[in-house]
Amino acid sequence: MTPQIEIELTNLRSSLIELSNMVLMQIDKAGNALNNADIELANEVMRYEKRINGLEVNVEKACENILALYNPVAHDLRYVLSTLKINLNLERIGDYARSITKIVKVKGEAFKPALIEMFEINKMFQTTHMMMLTVLEGIETEQSTQLKGIFMQDDILNDIQDQSPQRITEHTREHPEDLGDCLNLYITVRKLERVGDHLKNIAEEIIFYKEAKILRHKKIKNK
């Protein structure tokens, strides 16, 4: 007969996978809404945020119940502790997706394609999508081998953000009328860079519970 704690851990993993898929969908929809000035899709992302918040609370309660009732140790304990942190990071990513769609709603019309290209917005969305898929695979399979690639992908997002202020300065010298749109797109860049940070945090937590290695504050070898 399967011990009850194993049943609870299996259910917990299923909920975490569900939350991860929901967050991935939110990021993808936010990108489509921004590119297409799709207000209806932006509203859908904002409505869906309530479901993400509800599932995040359920995952947190499930972790607390396992800790209180079953006193897990070793790998199981690391898994529950990591899940608590992964859960929080996923919820924050959902918040950023919602914030991006707010920009879409306030703008009310499409951004100039040249500005989207200048800020490499689509490259950032594509990068976060791939990072999210890697994280989701790590959660589903509990394999940590591919996760270290996330740290290099996060560098891509960091580099784009670092270059953005100079791009704003150079562009608005000749096109001052674009300043408002540039600032809104820079806010989007900042939010996507933060999404990358949260995905990196999740990767670190998966590596922690699989390998018992704490990667925070350490450089990845051969980064």
Classify residue 3 by burial, with Cβ atoms within 10 Å: 0-12, 13-18, 19+. Answer: exposed
Residue 172 has pLDDT above 50, yes or no: yes
Whether the Cβ atoms of residue 142 and residue 78 lie closer than 8 Å to each other: no
Alpha carbon separation from 214 to 135, 201, 220 (Å, rounded):
17, 11, 11
What are the percentages of helix, strand and coil residues in the chain, rounded to 5? 85, 0, 15
C-beta separation of 30 from 79 below 8 A: no
Minimum mean pLDDT range among 148-162, 172-186, 203-217: 203-217
- For the chain, list the domains and their CATH numbers: 4-211 (1.20.58.220)
Specify the pLDDT at position 222: 46
DSSP 168-223: HHHHHHH-GGGHHHHHHHHHHHHHHHHHHHHHHHHHHHHHHHHH----TTSPPTT-
Model pTM above 0.85: yes
Q: DSSP code of 109?
A: S
| Most distant pair of Cα atoms in the chain: their distance | 72
Residue 223, pLDDT score: 44
N-terminal to C-terminal alpha carbon distance within the chain: 45
pLDDT at 102 exceeding the cut of 50 = yes
Q: What pLDDT, on the 0 to 100 scale, is given for residue 145?
A: 74
pLDDT tens digits, residue range 144-160?
777 888 999 999 999 99
With beta carbons less than 8 A apart as the criterion, state whether 203 and 138 touch: yes
Listed in sequence order, the residues at least 6 apart from 39 whose beta carbon sits closer than 8 Å to its beta carbon are 33, 104, 105, 108
Q: What is the mean pLDDT of residues 191-204?
A: 96
Q: CB neighbours of 129 closer than 8 A, spacing ≥ 6?
A: 24, 27, 28, 31
Mean pLDDT, the chain, integer: 91
Q: Average pLDDT of 168-177?
A: 96
| pLDDT value for 212 | 63
DSSP 8-state class, residue 1: -
Instruction: Give the pLDDT band (50/70/90) at residue 218.
Output: low
